Chain A
């Protein structure tokens, strides 16, 4: 039996690079669009996303360092307060030196939405929309939608419960998901383009209606609510953000449009 395993392993080794090769630009995965019903919606509130490209990994410190070297107005001492609060890149040693407190291959954090958005623009990319990001986030290793699986949510929630490690690990250490994308869960939270989207459907009205719709779920946890509790946490987190905020556990990755040459 022992030697039978070898060809299998051998096949796996050649098969893996082939799987990665469908991502057209280096480091990006091509995502086939689709539809899903987000946790806050009724059956009629189906979200549809188009085909798009997504970075396989969050943007790293090293990559962001290259960016600020090229665009000095985004260096720590140069950035305007409107675009990033004081803690911007605070763990770096200086404007253009990473120092010992961060790993070059770890995700860049302490970046504002403005900085993330601008970084992506300067790569000819953009931030993913919330709808795109959530579409990717419902996939596990084998399935594009793993939300029916309780263990999938437990794993995510378990990560949410843990405090961020003192030094963030390098990107790519979590399991690759169905789309060939890493680190959506288990490393850092990520900025999305429209983080300031509201979370309800219906006629526009006072914010109180929004709160009621959201926080009712906390009082009456049915199985569908539990299924989406992780998503609910993300929405609640995003709605607490402002565009200039910079946090220790908040990074980003970029997206692109599939038929656009990058």
Chain B
């Protein structure tokens, strides 16, 4: 299984030098007023697929405060709690600010978590499609994104992963503002961070 995992890595890697240069150049063509900050995750050119089978780049998430976690849907122990923590955050954010947040779950098991699996997971967990985005990437993108967030993870069996439980908050420009580690934390701090990031005129 491990071997297969790494073979997947290599296939992806051997092709992406030129692609990434082009993506960078494309990003530079965007006029100055929409230019994203250097520390923004929107600098990442990676392609993702949503639970509704839409192909997106992270930059398309621009405009809302992002609350993100990395999970896998077949997870038995930690992920349901991580999602529950995210749902508590969603409920605790002031009602008038809720429409300005986007809760994003990124799968660390893209082989298993196809868009329809993610869709099913969203339905089962009652995740409001207006506010929740579930993303499938490829192994390379997922690893890269985890590296950016400081999320550690490892496949430990065909169906199980070890991973750190981190909820990350990004401003509307995709810059990382706050991270909460561990389960069942007091949400006061993270709610405060999120609400402070939502633009006042909304």
Contacts and interface: CB of A to CB of B under 8 A. Distances in A.
B122 interface: no
B183 to A, nearest CB: 6
Secondary structure class of chain A's binding surface, majority of residues = loop
Interface residues of A, number: 48
Contacts of B6: 49-50, 129, 131-132
Interface stretch (A9-17, A90-98, A119-127, A162-170): A119-127
B7 A118 contact: no
B7 A196 contact: no
B153 A198 contact: yes
Interface residues of B, number: 44
B43 A82 contact: yes
Interface stretch (A20-28, A206-214, A221-229): A206-214
A210 B161 CA distance: 13
A66 B148 CA distance: 26
B14 interface: yes
A50 B3 contact: yes
Interface stretch (B74-82, B99-107, B126-134, B193-201): B74-82
Contacts of B9: 126, 129, 193
Name, among B10, B146, B181, the residue most crowded by chain A CB atoms within 10 Å (CB to CB). B10
B189 interface: no
A257 interface: yes
Contacts of A82: 38-41, 43-44, 148
A196 B151 contact: yes
B53 interface: no
A208 B165 CA distance: 10
A207 B165 contact: yes
B150 A202 contact: no
- 7 nearest CB pairs, A to B: A243-B147, A126-B13, A81-B38, A121-B17, A122-B17, A197-B154, A198-B162
Given A50-B7, A131-B2, A242-B147, 15 more contacts: A49-B3, A121-B13, A121-B14, A124-B14, A132-B6, A193-B143, A196-B153, A197-B153, A198-B152, A198-B153, A204-B77, A207-B165, A210-B164, A244-B148, A257-B14
